[in-house]
Structure 1
């Protein structure tokens, strides 16, 4: 009897891997409960926040860290079970195939979230146009240059064709929506 090694494709169908599930907005907790009822291993990262309502009441809340996303650990063959859950829109895919997430990334999230204070932040990529939200440069727009430590943003004064680089805290910048971007020419 000889042992035939599994191909990478066949192995991915047998081994459980983490996948990102795109869900209906604000239904993440209910969907996570459905996964538990169906014995599908899932992970919904939550963060704690406090909201102040109009009536002056403060409320402690646990909200999804990644709105509209839940992670599931399944074999590739089980994806139909996930897609049958009410509120699940799709598995995050590339070229029509669900893409597994690196196990160390999910495990790092699972182990560190209870130990650190965190909250969602807009996804920023070097080269993105960003706007400074507060301080003496409030409202200025520029291009994100670096993400180590403080963010380095290049602000341009188009009229005099000069630029300056400033370092700002990540909490003090927001992405400029594509439709609101100024003409760069």
Structure 2
């Protein structure tokens, strides 16, 4: 059993999550609680951290069921029709950061930057890339296969180089 990323139809992540759950397949759909501004109202909604993507925990045999679930367009892999597993540590890091009470923003994938470890605070023990954005420091946790990441605000005094 390994974690795999799947690509869904546009704005179908929650529906695919429901369909896969009905089939008994473990899923992980990271959601961010954010304020939605419409013309006539404002309300808080849960939106996917990685729009168009979600994760499944399955073995190779169950991937057939995943692939042919309504709303799934493909299983992400480095080669056509060859699903590539995602390291469990990356999934656990995203779960940990979602459970902590910090501001979370979607963040583009970075290839350059300093690897750091958080030594104190609510994110203690997490490792990621330290970046500066709009005068604030952020710890970026990345999903390499998707080339996407999430950034959580940290104090520079709470991090140390890896």
Common fold: TM-score over 0.5 = yes
Of Structure 1 and Structure 2, the greater helix share is in 1
1:24 aligns with 2:6: no
> Which residue of 1 is the match for residue 78 of structure 2?
94
What is the Cα-based RMSD across aligned positions, in Å?
A: 2.3
Q: For the pair shown, which has the larger CA radius of gyration, 1 or 2?
A: 1
Unaligned stretches of 5+ residues in structure 1: 1-15, 127-146, 152-166, 172-185
| 2:47 pairs with one of 59, 63, 82 | 63
**For each residue in 1:129-178, what CA deviation from the matched residue of structure 2 results, as whole angstroms up to 9, or x when unmatched?**
xxxxxxxxxxxxxxxxxx74427xxxxxxxxxxxxxxx96689xxxxxxx
Q: Which has the higher contact order (CA 8 A, sep 6+)?
A: 2
**Change beyond 3 A, Cα 1:149–1:123:** closer
How many aligned residue pairs are there?
A: 121
Aligned ranges for residues 118-129 of structure 1 at < 5 Å?
Answer: 118-126=104-112
CA distance in 1, matches of 2:53, 2:84: 14
CA distance in 2, matches of 1:87, 1:73: 17
What TM-score do you get using the length of structure 1 for normalisation? 0.59
Counterpart of 2:46 in 1: which secondary structure?
strand
C-alpha separation in 1, matches of 2:106 and 2:25: 25
Alpha-carbon shift at residue 49 of structure 1 (Å): 0.6
Q: TM-score, normalised by structure 2?
A: 0.67
Structure with greater strand share of residues: 2
Structure 1's consecutive aligned runs of 4 or more residues displaced over 3 angstroms after TM superposition are: 167-171
State the Cα distance separating 1:35 from its structure 2 match. 0.8
Partner of 1:80 in structure 2?
A: 64
The alignment partner of 1:94 has SS state of coil
SS in structure 2 of the partner of residue 98 of structure 1: coil
